[in-house]
Amino acid sequence: MASEQRRLLRVLDGESLTPPPVWLMRQAGRYLPEYRETRARAGSFLDLCYNPDLAVEVTLQPIRRFGFDASILFSDILVIPDALDRDLTFVQGEGPQLRPIAPEEVSRLDPSRAETHLAPVIETVRRLRAELPDETTLIGFCGAPWTVATYMIAGHGTPDQAPARLFGYRHPEAMEQLLTLLAEMSADYLIRQLHAGADCVQIFDSWAGVLDEASFAAYAVKPVRRIVDKVRAAVPGAKIIGFPKGAGALLAGYRAATGVDAVGLDWSVPLSFAAELQAQGAVQGNLDPLRLIAGGRALEEGVERILATLGHGPLVFNLGHGITPDAPIAHVEALLRQIRG
């Protein structure tokens, strides 16, 4: 099967398909017993990300079980700061921990080891394309520079990213320098994924929603545009999904400003607004992950509303954020039955 027949790629080209292609963010994860078993064998989360044998295995697990239309590389958005030697660890119950960066350190960051450091991830992509079913789209990804920077600056996740926002207000030159470096590194990383066999890529901007309008333009739009332009210069026609979670009304100009092919929508985006965005091109989303946990009528009504409003245009059906560990497998199966009729 030629890659242009992969259903998700057809939607990214602007085609409307019934039923729409479907995959779920974090579809390889803790809600699956086979993932938990593989994760235990890996030793640590980072060891799992950097072990091609195990990373391929967990990426394939949800495809074997559910037959999603797309598979997304199993890795993490923080492998870029890890390549910058920021002492990344994942602490059980606390999440990622890094050595916080000071403004004066930004100019001393050295990206030269990134190619070697990230080589196991690229090997995972190469193996995945060889092992996935022909019809399954392979999605590569990176974290958006702003979201990655928030973790580098605070040293951990925070509820409102106040440390990173203050860093930007107090040290605008250092912030711009950091975002530019991350954009350059991220573009190189995505180019390598595409060359290794990824069909398209997604840029996760999980913390875009905390920014005011001016900061959104400077931190969420400008660096992503830099990534898109550099990736397309190296891989003409590369398909790119942008997911600026929580961006709200600022989504209106995001596609045109960044150049992405499709816009990922979180569950708070009104479907009437989503339809306006869809008039400009493909959208992805946006079922509330808690509806998937609840199941029953809550799940059925959520799916039906999305299909009724967006199902006649270019749509990639997805959750509005990642699937959570307490999502019942039976509810995922019910979701797929409803979408696929």
Residues classed as catalytic? 26, 30, 39, 76, 151
Contact predicate 215/168, CB 8 Å: yes
Find the distance separating the first CA and the last CA of the chain, reported in whole Å.
24
| Cα–Cα distance measured from residue 253 to residue 276, given in angstroms and rounded to the nearest whole number | 11
Phi and psi dihedrals of 175, rounded to 5?
-65, -45
Residue corresponding to tokens 């030159």: 173
Which of 79, 77, 82, 32 minimizes the C-alpha distance to 58? 32
List, in order, residues 6 or more apart from 278 with CB less than 8 Å away: 310, 313, 314, 315
CA distance 217 to 224: 10
The count of C-alpha atoms lying within 13 angstroms of the C-alpha of 297, restricted to the half-sphere facing its C-beta, is 0
Backbone angles phi, psi at 23, to 5 degrees: -150, 170
